[in-house]
Structure 1
């Protein structure tokens, strides 16, 4: 879910950063409003039936479920983030949640088929894949979220300091992502035996951890003003132009220094 939130906040940012044509009226203030909508309010996750998502790759969900259960993971629920559905109605999807046998890893599997005018432009120039089949694993230890996913290159917004995210290639098989995360959490606990991971004993425990991660991300987005200079320059691959500087100030809600002269 941590990576899911990052990607949902990213799409229009990437289009803007790469200098592509924005929808009419979509300036810095509008981008900030969209980012605030994604990160600035509690998200509601509700149980759903896969039958309500005819465009979802259900074979992917079922294959991942079979592989995870063979590794001792327990299926928890299929859920929809109705808050994100309201913000991105054309990109509606659901997440399949699991916990491992030790109850210290929560896993989510989801299929995203990004759509919309801006996303279509990104896909035409091969800057964003047409389909994302994601496996994401998270563990929460002493206020830190250890996250492993197969989203290298597509979740370019920086996570908050509380999240230690490792991004593997999109083509990484489910069980390789699992093995990598299990190795990371084992190494962390070996190095810090005094730290105890949060235990996921129920559906509510999983939702509570997701909510805490979202609070950390929302706090970080507010701290950087929605979008940081480093993020925008990294996406551009160069220092910002005067026009881009003005756009960033608008996103961050900062005054134009020349206006006071």
Structure 2
């Protein structure tokens, strides 16, 4: 959920792909520092103009706006997550925010071009896409976040239990992502008509919902110690080695087990 959640997952892929060998700036303590920076404070979002991002795929942003407005959605603003820009200055981007006609769905669309020497190497061997064009739809229902996005195979961190995430392939057409989410919210309301979704029609209401989602994710990351064993083992496809166990302890801030 949200661009910062995706960025943390991509950064984790880099660490895992390098075999947890702890090169400078990619050790467990560095990863934990980034996790704490991302989840340790409310994010500062600011209105921006698309023209301030000449490297962004503005045609993608315009296509999202045109397609969704034709479906009755309303464009609210383009915003930059200044907190993420400070942490990942090489990956600065912006989000386009929209809401549906009923005020039950908020949309974030963004283009991300992961940069950096290590990231570039992973892209050469096709372990990471060169460009991510993401459309994410979110509905909030009594503390639960229903999320639909085109991030299948890209999201590397497990969402909190309060987030019900449906990930479609990255190249899924915008209309299909929207239709899938609209279908999910319709099914939910039919099954539980008493569960009224939170409505957000204004820019401020959307930001408030995003802030609540951030708090939910921050609490979850704190609960699992930054990264869980299951997440690392799933990325590696096997039980952790001794080196990887040490990496996990470093991330979680725990000490090595005492010999018996």
Q: What is the TM-score of this pair, normalised by structure 2?
A: 0.97
Aligned counterpart, 2:127: 127
Equivalent residues in 2 for 1:25-104, closer than 5 Å: 25-104=25-104
Q: CA separation in 2, counterparts of 1:5 and 1:155?
A: 11
Aligned residues: 259
Partner of 1:172: 172
Counterpart position of 1:13: 12
1:4 and 2:27 are equivalent in the alignment = no
- Partners of 1:139 and 1:197 within 8 A in 2: yes
- Separation in 2 of the partners of 1:254 and 1:106? 38
**Cα distance per residue 1:150-204 (max 9 Å; x no partner):** 0100011000111101000011000100000000001011111111101112100
Moved more, 127-136 or 19-28: 19-28
CA contact (8 A) 1:8 1:38 kept: no
Alpha-carbon distance in structure 2 between the residues aligned to 1:110 and 1:148: 14
Partners of 2:26 and 2:180 lie apart in 1 by: 40
How much does 1:19 deviate? Answer: 3.0
Contact 1:80/1:93, CA 8 A, preserved across alignment: yes
Q: CA shift at 1:117, angstroms?
A: 1.9
Query: For residues 184 and 16 of structure 1, what CA distance do their matches in structure 2 show?
Result: 35
Whole-Å Cα distance in 1 between the matches of residues 71 and 26 of structure 2? Answer: 46
Contact conserved, 1:113 with 1:131, CA < 8 A, in 2?
A: yes
Q: Do the aligned residues in 2 keep the contact of 1:12 with 1:118 (CA within 8 Å)?
A: no
Contact conserved, 1:139 with 1:198, CA < 8 A, in 2?
yes
* Equivalent runs, 1:196-235 vs 2, <5 Å: 196-235=196-235
CA contact (8 A) 1:22 1:118 kept: no
Q: How far off is 1:26 after superposition?
A: 3.0
SS where residue 257 of structure 1 aligns? coil
Any conservation in 1 of the 2:15–2:27 contact (CA below 8 Å)? no
Query: Matched residues in 2 for 1:183 and 1:25: separation?
Result: 43
Task: List gaps (5 residues or longer) in structure 2.
Answer: none
Q: What is residue 242 of structure 1 aligned with on the other side?
A: 242
CA contact (8 A) 2:10 2:156 kept: no
Provide the rounded CA distance (Å) in 1 between the counterparts of 2:25 and 2:88.
Answer: 18
Please show how residues 182-193 of structure 1 align to structure 2 within 5 Å.
182-193=182-193
Q: Which runs of 5 or more residues in structure 1 are unaligned?
A: none
Normalized against structure 1, the TM-score is what? 0.96
Instruction: Report if aligned partners of 1:47, 1:77 keep a CA contact under 8 Å in 2.
Output: yes
- What's the offset of the Cα at 1:17? 1.6
